[in-house]
Structure 1
Amino acid sequence: MTSDFPAGNYRFIPAVFQYSSGAAADAGFEVERVRFDRPLPLAEGFARIARHIQAAGRPRTAFCACELRSPAAFSEDGFRAFNQHYVKTLAEWGLFDGTINPVARSNVCPEIDPPAEPSFYAFSFTRTTSSTTPSFVIAGSAEARDGPGSYPERIVRYRDLSPQAWKEKVRFTVEEMERRLGEFGFEWSDTTAAQVYTVHDFHPVMTDELVRRGAARSGLTWHFARPPVVDLEYEMDCRRVLREIVI
C-alpha cells in the first residue's frame, strides 16, 4: 500500500525510518534524477541538493530519492548510527516526522576507490511537467527478508555463495523489485533503468533471473560495489525517469 506525500507531490511505499521502498511522482509532476560528477560528502551534498531543487522553483520537500556511496560495509550497529545521523537533515527539511520517511534510497560501498566518507552519488526530486508519462524510483534492496531479527537471521542463504545460494539471493532481490513495482501498479516493462550492486560474478544466473524476467529491458548497469551491511552480497534498484542530468 502506498502513502501520499503532498508536500513533495509524490506518493511512496512506507518502509523503515531511514528510507521508503520507492517514490512515484503525482499527476502533473515528474521525477528528475541528478548525478554528481564526483560524489559529495553528506553535508556538502545536502547543501548542493537544496540549491538545485530551489533553483528549479521547487521546495526541499520535493526531494524524493537519493543514491549514496559509503567507504565500506557497516556493522549492523554502525548502519543504525549512520541512519540516525542521515535522517536529521530530512527532518529539518520537513521530510521525516520522526517515524515515517518518504525518501527512497540506495547506499552501497564501492570496492575500488571508495569515498573517504559517506557521500551522495545522485538524487531525485519532483518537478512540474505537462507530460502524462509516469515516473518513479524504486529504492535499493538486497537479499534480506523484512521483519524482526538481526541481519544474519534475515539474509537469504547467509554466508553461502554456492551456485544455488547465489541463484536464490538474486531471485529474492528481483522478486522484491517486482513487489515494489507492483505497489505502484508498474512492472519491469515500465522501467527505464536498472542497477545491480555486487562484487561477485552474477552472470551465471543473469539470463534466467534477470533478462528473462524483463529486468534488463533497458540494459543493466553493474556497479562494482557491496551492499551497505556486512554479509549482504547483492543489491538492486530500478527507476522510470525521463529527465536525467549530471552536475
Structure 2
Amino acid sequence: MNRIRELLLGLATLISFAAAHGDTALYPTGPSRDSAFIRFVNALDSPLDVLPEGEQTPSTLAPSVVSVFSAVPADKPVTGVLSSAGVSVPVKLNLAPGEFVTFVVVPGDKGFELLTVREQPKDFNGLQASLALINADPDCTGGGLRRAGRKEQPIFHDLNPGLLERRDVNPVKLSVQGFCDGTLVTAPLSLGPLESGERYTVLILSQNGKPVLVFVKDAFAQ
C-alpha cells in the first residue's frame, strides 16, 4: 500500500472511531518526522461518509461529532472524497509542520461546503486555560462569544465564518452564549469548570438552520 493510500485508510479509521468516541492514530509518525495535527467536524444534519483512495471500506461520521486531533506527516497531502446525502467533494490538504487544522463540513447551496480552519498554536500560560472559538456557521457574520447573562466585554467578537481565535482564560466555571453581528443567537451553554493547562474549543455551528454552540476539550489520539 503506498503512502497516500495508507494515510487515507488511517483517516477512515479515525472517523469511524471518533463517531464511537474512541481514539486512534490517523497515521504512524515517528519522532524524526515533522508532524501536523488534524481533526474533522460534521456540521451537517446527515451522516458524512469518508471515502479513502482505492477500494477501502468507507467510514461514517455522525452529525455534530468532533473528532480528536491526530498527528499526520507535515507537507504530505491528505487526499480523498467526502460524501453526504448524494453529494461528493474531493479533498486535498497540505499541512505545515506544527499546524493544527480543523476540517469542518458545513451546509451549502450544493449540499455542503468545506471550511478549513488553520491554527499555528502559541505557548500559553499553564496556570490558565486556552479557549478557542471557531465560527463554522456560514451565515454568521461578526460571530462571537460572551458570558451568559453578562454585558461585559465579549470573550471573542468580529469572527467571520471559517476563522478561529484563541485566548487564555481563567480556569473557572464558565457559561457562554454565541452571537452574530451583536445579536445573541444561541442558548446558554455551560462549559463546566475549565482546567489549568488544558485546551478547549467552542464552535458556532448551524443545525436545522439555526446557530448552536458545540464545546469540546481538545483531545489528541494516542
TM-score normalised by L of structure 1: 0.25
Of Structure 1 and Structure 2, the greater helix share is in 1
TM-score normalised by L of structure 2: 0.27
